[in-house]
Structure 1
């Protein structure tokens, strides 16, 4: 495609985008535009005047005089030739101009001969069409200066009307959207009083000199105060919770214009803690001195609590994964639940189900709220123990109204408990712990908050079940390890008794050492629940048994092996080390061994590479006969082969490789 073609294509895209923005194509006739073409015909003394808009395949007439069709194809368009010009296009005789002489509107009905068009150029400098006049007779002299200027002015007026029309449409659209949004907000606000308060936006204006604040009715409702036109700003500042102090504005901060303008903080109200989002700006006098702070506030409690609930569930999983006892889990859960629900007290208690008592542990409390630490009887506060016994969470929005607590409400109110949440923790099916959260004011629980409490309880139960399962597995593993160790000891004792008459004691000793190596491998696996073992641990513990660790240099990647790989590597290491002690570099006082391992490749094709290299020992030579140990070494890791054994002048070298996924298998 040529550069000129690219430019033309780009201009077409710009024009189509501009026409779409005006939303003018195929719109009904409008008197403002009809009047402009009437003026154009009178000004230029022409029988035809058109407001022509050119898109990709046609020219369409927003207004027309003396011309019947409402649109024509581009092949009949004279106005398209005006798109490339920033000024008037005047063709005195269309029949003589090479651009138009073959146009069917020139060669046939209505036999047009003269054309003058002023381009319609948007504020973004995009030409979308033209305002043109047409005559059926040639005009060698075209238009006079007055007619030219008038046609240009009328074209500018067309664009001005297009812009005004677009702005009006946008305003109407915004109004419709605002009206629709307001309608939806009102419908939602009517559902509950809490939702009504959360959906409002209040405005304020603080006189910095006097400290008095003009407040809108919505502002007063958001702060849960009687509606009044003026309040001292210090009243609102005093409502901010202690831990958020410093976020709100102050007399000094307003006078110096240093207060943060966009902040979120919590306030204490008669209905509990609420989250406020405040946006503000300063008004200055002519000297630049701040004289007013104006702004808006919105109750964002619902949004903040929703975010806090999500974060609490995420944090709960992270914290429970690192805890191993039930009481620590309960305390972590209570802490997170208090933050997510803006509670005034939260903690946990140890339950004695036999006498229906609970020993409350030291808990989290809001400032000024007394601790419940100590022993309490459930029945002193109501009948909700019946639900807790069944493992059901208890949620009471108002203890004075709920049938389970209203007869004992005063006992709860004396402890600053108006709202009560209890989540039972079932330990192996038995109700042993209770996690609780309290509010000092009535609280309307949302469906989302109740679902959060159920999910919270389920996650705690699952975590505690995991801890119990892991503990039971650990006991089982230890018991199996103990029995396996006893079995190996029994095998060793039987072998010692059975092989006592054998005169070739070196074979007997080698057999016993191999049993020790096998026992060591089992101990390493038992440390990790028989699932896997680090290569470094296998190497270290196997060599420690032979008392040669200080003469061996070990370098390797952090790699885990399964039971199969662990047992195989332990036995191979044992044979390599005992051979080095007998015949190789560890048979004197100066020799050393270098051990190295690493992984090559990725995924199912990854390979475990192991190297044993001796140095500083006596001259070594390949033995004439291979015993069991040599055969075990040449079998390689997990019996897969892949072994290169060399007897070099510097010392014995063994290099092995095997499939890493095979060595990491859980089965043996």
Structure 2
């Protein structure tokens, strides 16, 4: 049921609309929201079931005999186990849940052997029951003949004699497969989203998705294979397997196992609930059964429009599929495709950034070469050298931004890059917590720090081997009123005096960060001190 819409708003028109990648990201985000809503709904349903089961327990304690003989309601099976003999009297609904023929009596061992191997410790042994210490409330899995793995919730209470010795175990059972699967599906989808964010390899994504899907669907084998769509082959990679299940690693031909390769090529997920009856596999069922495959799920993964990988999940026995399970598989495929799309977009962006960086370096080199040729006749080489160094500072700032995909740059990184370029790292001390600024702020900061460092090398503390510079910064205020304060303090150099005239560098420094002012310059006995302030919001906001 649709309960709302995910809305995206921009402040500029977009005639071309959203890109396919943006639509995929929004679709994945909407899926996560839906999963959270579904998880809340399932949690509420579980609380309702718990309250209902508590009421059943109370009713059993008050009149257990009446409950056992009353007409069944609510699809809850009942049983009465004789502790001494192990004989168990069961209702028709109990037989339906355990997928056995209706009969008045069975032995407890008939049902204990149906326990899932991983849950055998949850049910109690005959000796434990005789001691009256059996677990009376428990959820566990059983393996049925025609319905596969099922989840059962059992509620029970002891009937004791006057001495307290247990005589009988009376109780109810309920099939909770649908509820357990719903909860597991939601948790798995949420875990998939969390884990995919940290993966940067297509094959890692495929294997992670396969393993999570296998646990959610109680499968026996899961993994991925590398597809050659032209030859219609798949190179199976080492997969996740349940204990005792053989590996399918190696090359396989799709057509040896049926015609479902046609659906995969068309981008459709394939779910075959029984290879012996499905039209796509029944003629090749023996080949699949010999590999321990009674049911299979295949999710195709396309890379740049090409069928490249297939995620598979296998069951060796029958598995009762629900409509929600099929939607779960489709949702899994969508999330995998979104993650692959994200990786592809990041790879393309990195390639584009490298190309931009290469062209930008060429442009800076060309400008510098033109400047040298144009300014060759100038006798005073000081301004020429200053221009070249400022150009290098600007190039260095762009290198930092390119390394961050033109996102924010770190203040510390920008400062270290400047002082390292001028060979002054050992004489400059840096203090301040990690703070990032936007591209415009990074360029402004790099040019300002270059001017201050250059002046210190020529006239200030860095002109002496004993001189030092302390650069510190902090944030004052909170939220919209927060201000970045950066202090440049020189020590141990020659005496400094205020210049009589201002050159380009002095005017640049006086403009401050982002050219908004907020600069205080002090010419002290121990050296120059410059304090600059600027709005942190302006330094960090996206243009």
Q: Report the Cα offset of residue 603 of structure 1.
A: 4.2
Are the structure 2 counterparts of residues 207 and 555 from structure 1 closer, same or farther at C-alpha, using a change threshold of 3 Å? farther
Q: 1:202 aligns with which of 41, 66, 77?
A: 77
Aligned to 1:373: 249
Aligned to 2:528: 652
Q: Is 1:630 matched with 2:502?
A: no
> Does the residue aligned with 1:203 lie in a helix, a strand or coil?
strand
Are the structure 2 counterparts of residues 652 and 262 from structure 1 closer, same or farther at C-alpha, using a change threshold of 3 Å? farther
Q: Report the Cα offset of residue 427 of structure 1.
A: 1.0
Aligned to 1:222: 97
Q: Which gives a bigger RCO, structure 1 or 2 (Cα 8 Å, sep 6+)?
A: 2
Aligned to 1:540: 416
Query: Deviation digits for residues 569-615 of structure 1, max 9, x if unmatched?
Result: 01111111122222222222333322222233444443222221223
Q: Is 1:319 matched with 2:195?
A: yes
Q: Is 1:450 matched with 2:326?
A: yes
Aligned to 2:22: none
**Aligned partners of 1:412, 1:337: CA distance in 2, in Å?**
20
Q: 1:572 aligns with which of 421, 437, 448?
A: 448
Q: Is 1:280 matched with 2:183?
A: no
Query: Deviation digits for residues 605-640 of structure 1, max 9, x if unmatched?
Result: 432222212233332221112221111111111111
Alignment of 1:115-514 (within 5 A): 200-270=75-145, 271-514=147-390
Q: Contact 1:517–1:542 (CA<8 Å) still a contact in 2? A: yes
Q: Report the Cα offset of residue 471 of structure 1.
A: 0.2
Aligned to 1:593: 469
Q: 1:549 aligns with which of 381, 400, 425?
A: 425
Q: Contact 2:224–2:312 (CA<8 Å) still a contact in 1? A: yes
Are the structure 2 counterparts of residues 490 and 256 from structure 1 closer, same or farther at C-alpha, using a change threshold of 3 Å? farther
Aligned to 1:23: none
**Aligned partners of 1:522, 1:360: CA distance in 2, in Å?**
45
Query: Deviation digits for residues 318-360 of structure 1, max 9, x if unmatched?
Result: 1111111211111111111112222222211111111111111
Q: Report the Cα offset of residue 296 of structure 1.
A: 2.1
Are the structure 2 counterparts of residues 566 and 228 from structure 1 closer, same or farther at C-alpha, using a change threshold of 3 Å? same
Q: Report the Cα offset of residue 291 of structure 1.
A: 4.0
> Does the residue aligned with 1:657 lie in a helix, a strand or coil?
strand
Q: Report the Cα offset of residue 666 of structure 1.
A: 4.3
Are the structure 2 counterparts of residues 281 and 539 from structure 1 closer, same or farther at C-alpha, using a change threshold of 3 Å? farther
**Aligned partners of 1:513, 1:409: CA distance in 2, in Å?**
74
Query: Deviation digits for residues 234-275 of structure 1, max 9, x if unmatched?
Result: 343333222233222123433444443322222222221111
Larger Rg: 1
Q: Contact 2:149–2:319 (CA<8 Å) still a contact in 1? A: no
Aligned to 1:117: none
The CA RMSD over aligned residues, in Å, is 2.4
> Does the residue aligned with 1:368 lie in a helix, a strand or coil?
coil
Q: Report the Cα offset of residue 429 of structure 1.
A: 1.1
Equivalent pairs counted in the alignment come to 474
Q: Is 1:642 matched with 2:505?
A: no
**Aligned partners of 2:131, 2:369: CA distance in 1, in Å?**
89
> Does the residue aligned with 2:100 lie in a helix, a strand or coil?
coil
Q: Report the Cα offset of residue 400 of structure 1.
A: 2.0
**Aligned partners of 1:260, 1:620: CA distance in 2, in Å?**
85
Q: Contact 1:557–1:599 (CA<8 Å) still a contact in 2? A: no
Q: Report the Cα offset of residue 472 of structure 1.
A: 0.5
Q: Report the Cα offset of residue 662 of structure 1.
A: 2.3
**Aligned partners of 2:468, 2:161: CA distance in 1, in Å?**
86
> Does the residue aligned with 1:536 lie in a helix, a strand or coil?
helix
> Does the residue aligned with 2:446 lie in a helix, a strand or coil?
helix
Are the structure 2 counterparts of residues 646 and 415 from structure 1 closer, same or farther at C-alpha, using a change threshold of 3 Å? same
Query: Deviation digits for residues 192-229 of structure 1, max 9, x if unmatched?
Result: xxxxxxx6322233333344433333223222223333
Are the structure 2 counterparts of residues 549 and 403 from structure 1 closer, same or farther at C-alpha, using a change threshold of 3 Å? same
Query: Deviation digits for residues 417-454 of structure 1, max 9, x if unmatched?
Result: 22221111111111111111122334443222222222
Structure 2 unaligned spans of 5+: 1-58, 60-69
Q: Contact 2:148–2:320 (CA<8 Å) still a contact in 1? A: no
Are the structure 2 counterparts of residues 238 and 442 from structure 1 closer, same or farther at C-alpha, using a change threshold of 3 Å? closer
**Aligned partners of 2:412, 2:111: CA distance in 1, in Å?**
64
Are the structure 2 counterparts of residues 617 and 258 from structure 1 closer, same or farther at C-alpha, using a change threshold of 3 Å? farther
**Aligned partners of 2:254, 2:232: CA distance in 1, in Å?**
6
Q: Report the Cα offset of residue 365 of structure 1.
A: 2.2
**Aligned partners of 1:490, 1:339: CA distance in 2, in Å?**
59
Are the structure 2 counterparts of residues 542 and 286 from structure 1 closer, same or farther at C-alpha, using a change threshold of 3 Å? farther
> Does the residue aligned with 2:222 lie in a helix, a strand or coil?
strand
**Aligned partners of 2:413, 2:131: CA distance in 1, in Å?**
65
Q: Contact 1:275–1:300 (CA<8 Å) still a contact in 2? A: yes
Q: Is 1:615 matched with 2:491?
A: yes
Query: Deviation digits for residues 51-83 of structure 1, max 9, x if unmatched?
Result: xxxxxxxxxxxxxxxxxxxxxxxxxxxxxxxxx
**Aligned partners of 1:523, 1:581: CA distance in 2, in Å?**
24
> Does the residue aligned with 1:633 lie in a helix, a strand or coil?
helix
Are the structure 2 counterparts of residues 541 and 258 from structure 1 closer, same or farther at C-alpha, using a change threshold of 3 Å? farther
Q: 1:526 aligns with which of 398, 402, 419?
A: 402
Structure 1 unaligned spans of 5+: 1-170, 172-181, 187-198
Q: Report the Cα offset of residue 470 of structure 1.
A: 0.7
Aligned to 1:75: none
Aligned to 1:38: none
Larger deviation, residues 348-357 vs 277-286 = 277-286
